């Protein structure tokens, strides 16, 4: 009777899930007491599958994919075992041959590790839990493939005391052959019986009936009773054990991790399989006709060194060559990595100051060449030029500068002082651009500022009017003004006198134009006289105005109103000083 294993997974509450997982986690150490038969193993596997499906409902997207892959591998393996041992679920694990028992116990250990992680990390959040589940899926895939390989043509079953080896194809042939012979024998017996051709002798007739019953019993048992077929096949031999050894000894590739090689970046790939070493010797590996060395080798895994592998993008063959055996050929993919552009890298390739030795107070122009020698565009960065260390700096903003492009900026500055100064230019002053090299953003140049020759200026002194406070005379007086500006003289009025009264204001209109150099003083002298002497008959002194202006203050350019010293009369003279530098 065929035993069916129910793989339908039903939701459970979290508490029940934890209790079941906890129970499963302790199954491995007690294998001898609990996992005794193939049926026990299948039950454990079915329970593990159910717990995995419960965990899938709780896990995140990344972990869910890992669990679903593990569930698929485990379910496929259980279905294969259930189909293989459908008539022999009571076979004990200890009665199996060593190879099959080792694989089943290895899978059991893997399931134990999975159950432990489900118990400790039910949501499978930790990296350790994810790694255990991921590795378990790969190991179950490898182990199951090896197990299926040994079961593909040869079914290994066991009794209580003896090991049987049964070839499925030969077993089916025996059933068909037995059915044919059984049918032919029955037809012949019926034909002889009804045609009355059986022996007339009673003893011979009984013997014929016994022979026919034995014939029917023999071939019927071969058709209906599997142990009878096993006994016949193992008794007669026909090389089944040797076939088993030949089949299970064949090397096989199960997976290549990773199956894509990023040339120049991937340093190692692993070939997962079974019996990968023949007689203890690993194969010679080639990828795209290039021999690759093995970093490590076992029967299950070959670690290939692909750090120096070259080629173009596309699919190619990975070939494992064995002496006196057909090579194993698998397909992998080579990929030339897309070059990742280097980040922006801003630098000042040139800093030129014109003139190279500027003159004090004269304009100096700094020309800065900025280059982006990185691989991506740089945007919205500030360039600053500091003519000297104590200067806050002049800045400009560059909106964008493409990879490999350059731009030139100019700044202007007039040095006030004479001497030697360190001029510093900086690109991306506030680190707005992520650069591959932040240490090449400055460039400096020493500047020697020369003493400027004395500046010359045109100085105009414009006497506009005079305000009379006291005319130094009873009644109206007669005014005369004498001007002397740096040796240039003039008189107001030009001839004669000008009538004046206290409190009056008189327009003068006397202008003096001079050319002065720095260091020269501007001396303004005005002397006022009331010509009609009054009671004494002599001229009255109305006082004078004397002012000296220095070049350091630009000769006090602007409007001035100066009052005389008033010995007899008193007045205020109004004038404007205009300064225009000629160099």
**Does 158 map to a domain?**
no
Domain span at 405: 346-449
257 and 241 within one domain: no
Please identify, among 193, 220, 246, the residue that sits at the C-terminal boundary of a domain: 246
Domain harbouring 577, CATH code: 2.60.40.150
309 and 368 within one domain: no
470 and 403 within one domain: no
pTM: 0.39
98 and 57 within one domain: yes
CB 569 within 8 A of CB 470: yes
pLDDT at 203: 77
50 and 131 within one domain: yes
**Does 463 map to a domain?**
yes
How far apart, in Å, are the Cα atoms of 23 and each of 31, 50, 104, 119, 148?
A: 13, 14, 20, 10, 29
490 and 464 within one domain: yes
68 and 169 within one domain: no
CB 312 within 8 A of CB 289: no
**Does 278 map to a domain?**
yes
pLDDT at 249: 59
**Does 406 map to a domain?**
yes
**Does 437 map to a domain?**
yes
146 and 27 within one domain: yes
pLDDT at 392: 93
315 and 437 within one domain: no
pLDDT at 373: 94
Q: At 300, is the secondary structure helix, strand, or coil?
A: coil
Tokens read off for 206: 């009984």
365 and 313 within one domain: no
**Does 1 map to a domain?**
no
Please identify, among 120, 152, 184, the residue that sits at the C-terminal boundary of a domain: 152
Packing angle of the helix pair 127-152, 240-248 (nearest 10 deg): 150
Local confidence pLDDT in tens for the 583 residues of the chain? 333 333 333 333 333 333 333 333 333 333 334 567 777 778 888 888 887 777 777 777 767 777 787 787 788 778 777 776 666 676 666 666 566 777 777 777 777 777 777 766 655 567 777 777 777 777 776 676 666 655 554 444 444 333 344 556 666 777 787 788 878 877 877 777 777 666 667 777 777 778 778 888 887 877 777 667 666 766 665 545 444 444 445 787 877 888 889 888 899 999 988 778 888 888 999 998 899 999 998 888 899 999 988 888 889 999 999 887 888 888 999 998 887 788 999 999 999 999 999 998 889 999 999 999 999 999 999 999 999 999 999 999 999 999 999 999 999 999 999 999 999 999 999 999 999 999 999 999 999 999 988 889 999 999 999 999 987 776 778 899 999 999 999 999 999 889 888 889 999 999 999 999 988 999 999 999 988 754 455 678 889 999 999 998 999 999 999 999 988 779 999 999 999 998 7
**Does 8 map to a domain?**
no
Q: At 136, is the secondary structure helix, strand, or coil?
A: helix
Please identify, among 335, 363, 379, the residue that sits at the C-terminal boundary of a domain: 335
As for how many domains the chain has, the answer is 5
319 and 366 within one domain: no
pLDDT at 556: 94
426 and 387 within one domain: yes
Backbone phi and psi for residue 286, each to the nearest 5 degrees, phi listed first:
-135, 140
């Amino acid at each position: 009777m065929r035993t069916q294993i129910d793989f339908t997974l039903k939701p459970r509450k979290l508490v029940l899930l934890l209790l079941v997982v906890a129970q499963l986690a302790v199954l491995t150490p007690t294998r001898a007491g609990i996992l005794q038969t193939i049926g026990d193993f299948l039950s454990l596997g079915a329970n593990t599958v159910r717990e995995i499906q419960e965990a899938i409902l709780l896990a995140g997207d990344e972990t869910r994919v890992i669990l679903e892959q593990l569930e698929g591998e485990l379910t496929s393996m259980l279905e294969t075992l259930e189909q293989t041992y459908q008539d022999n679920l009571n076979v004990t694990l200890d009665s199996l041959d060593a190879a099959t028992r080792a694989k089943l116990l290895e899978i059991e250990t893997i399931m134990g590790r999975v159950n432990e992680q489900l118990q400790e990390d039910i949501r499978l959040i930790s990296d350790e839990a994810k790694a255990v589940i991921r590795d378990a899926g790969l190991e179950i895939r490898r182990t199951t493939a090896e197990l299926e390989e040994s079961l593909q043509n040869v079914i290994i079953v066991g009794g209580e005391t003896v090991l049987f080896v049964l070839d499925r194809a030969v077993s089916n042939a025996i059933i068909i052959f037995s059915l044919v012979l059984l049918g032919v024998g029955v037809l012949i017996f019926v034909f002889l019986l009804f045609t009355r051709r059986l022996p007339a002798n009673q003893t011979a007739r009984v013997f014929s009936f016994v022979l026919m019953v034995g014939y029917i019993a023999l071939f019927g048992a071969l058709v209906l009773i599997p142990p009878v077929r096993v006994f016949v096949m193992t008794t007669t031999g026909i090389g089944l054990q040797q076939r088993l050894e030949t089949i299970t000894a064949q090397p096989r590739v199960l997976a290549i991790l990773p199956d894509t090689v990023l040339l120049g970046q991937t340093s190692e790939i692993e070939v997962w399989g079974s019996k990968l070493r023949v007689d203890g010797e690993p194969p010679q590996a080639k990828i795209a006709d290039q021999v690759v060395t093995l970093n490590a080798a076992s029967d299950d895994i070959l670690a290939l060194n692909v750090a120096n592998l070259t080629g173009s993008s596309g699919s190619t063959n990975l070939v494992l060559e064995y002496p006196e055996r057909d090579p194993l050929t698998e397909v992998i993919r080579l990929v030339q990595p897309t070059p990742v552009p280097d980040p922006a890298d801003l630098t000042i390739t040139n800093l030129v100051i014109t003139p190279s030795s500027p003159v004090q107070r004269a304009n100096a122009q700094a020309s800065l060449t900025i280059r982006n020698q990185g691989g991506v565009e740089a945007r919205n960065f500030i360039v600053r030029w500091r003519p000297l260390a104590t200067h806050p700096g002049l800045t400009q903003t560059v909106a964008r500068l493409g990879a490999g492009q350059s731009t030139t900026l100019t700044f202007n500055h007039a040095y006030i002082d004479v001497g030697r100064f360190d001029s510093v230019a900086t690109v991306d002053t506030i680190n707005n651009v992520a650069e591959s090299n932040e240490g090449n953003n400055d460039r400096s140049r020493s500047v020697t500022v020369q003493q400027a020759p004395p500046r010359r200026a045109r100085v105009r002194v414009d006497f506009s009017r005079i305000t009379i406070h006291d005319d130094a005379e009873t009644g109206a007086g007669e005014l005369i003004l004498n001007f002397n500006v740096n040796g240039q003289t003039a008189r107001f009025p030009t001839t004669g006198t000008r009538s004046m009264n206290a409190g009056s204001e008189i327009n003068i209109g006397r202008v003096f134009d001079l050319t002065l150099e720095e260091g020269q003083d501007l001396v303004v002298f005005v002397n006022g006289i009331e010509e009609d002497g009054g009671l004494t008959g002599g001229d009255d002194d109305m006082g004078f105005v004397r002012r000296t202006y220095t070049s350091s203050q630009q000769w006090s350019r602007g409007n001035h109103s100066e009052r005389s010293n008033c010995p007899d009369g008193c007045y205020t003279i109004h004038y404007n000083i205009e300064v225009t530098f000629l160099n």
